[in-house]
Amino acid sequence: MMKYLIVNGDDFGASRGINRGIIEAHRHGILTSASLMVNTPFSEEAAKLAGELRHLSVGLHVDLPKEPGGSPERARDELQKQFGRFVELMGGAPTHLDSHHNVHRNPQLHPHFVELAAEHGLPLREHSPVRYFSTFYGQWGGESHLEHISAASLAHMLETGIGEGFTELSCHPGYVDADHTGSYSVEREAELRTLCDPAIRRALATRSIQLVSYHDLGQLHAAVAA
């Protein structure tokens, strides 16, 4: 079997700087896919940018509001609303489904994500033929670990962590700007530099890892199964 790698940028639409970083990582780096947040002031900009890139697959990055007393039923309605908003923005259905901070793992919310994915025939993160690889991340314990998202570190991950079949490498490239107030900031710029480093493409070639996107998943998976 071949090794197929989807490099997916989360938080598309979160800010102008993140939009810019994801587009740059696709045009000049190894990013093949992105997950769009649809209810932000920068969602429309992200959708417009994505519309100019026919090889970039775009999925729905569900961001559920933190509401006191919120029920799973209300979350189900919100999922449907965000799916509809995605279609309005992009002019078609998403190529995949995931969620901000992986809230789809919540046992109360999980069935609704599974239902939405099944209804539209979408791969849901951690519930598809694609293995989820989340180790490329530069902050934990309240501290920044830029060395963990360096080119050398990613090359090592490609060698030791990417096996046969399909893998999604989750990433968070972007530029620091005033639009985004999250704690994960300078790490985004470090990720972007790494994703665009020519050494990473050489590492992929050396390890016979083929970059693909969620656009390619259905056809490739059928071919592998056959």
- Residue 226 pLDDT > 70, yes or no? no
pLDDT, tens only, 172-194:
999 999 988 889 999 999 999 99
**Which pLDDT does position 222 carry in this prediction?**
76
Burial class (CB in 10 A: 0-12, 13-18, 19+), 73: exposed
Q: Which of 89, 76, 88, 90 is nearest to 119 (CA)?
A: 76
**Which residues make beta-bridge pairs with 209?**
3
Q: Check if the beta carbon of residue 61 is closer than 8 Å to that of residue 89.
A: no
Residue 68's pLDDT is 53
What tens digit of pLDDT does each residue of 191-212 get? 999 999 999 999 999 999 999 9
Contacts of 198 (CB under 8 A, 6+ apart): none
Q: When comparing pLDDT for 142 and 81, which is higher?
A: 81
The residue assigned the tokens 């902050």 is: 139
Q: Find out whether 30 and 136 touch, Cβ atoms under 8 Å.
A: no
Predicted pLDDT at 218: 83
- Round to whole Å and give the CA distance between 197 and 60: 27
pLDDT, mean of residues 35-51: 97
pLDDT at 66: 76
Q: Which residues contact 144 (CB under 8 A, 6 or more apart)?
A: 138, 186, 187
Q: What is the mean pLDDT of the chain?
A: 94
**One-letter amino acid for residue 74 of the chain:** R
> Is pLDDT of 60 > 70?
yes
What pLDDT score does 224 carry?
73
pLDDT at 70 over 70: no
Query: Exposed, middle or buried by CB within 10 Å (0-12, 13-18, 19+), for 17?
Result: buried
The pLDDT value given to residue 188? 98
DSSP structural state of residue 179:
T
Is the pLDDT confidence value at 62 over 90?
yes
**Helix, strand, or coil (residue 29):** coil
What domains can be seen in the chain, in order of their start residue? 3-225 (3.20.20.370)
In tens, the pLDDT along 10-20 reads: 999 999 999 99
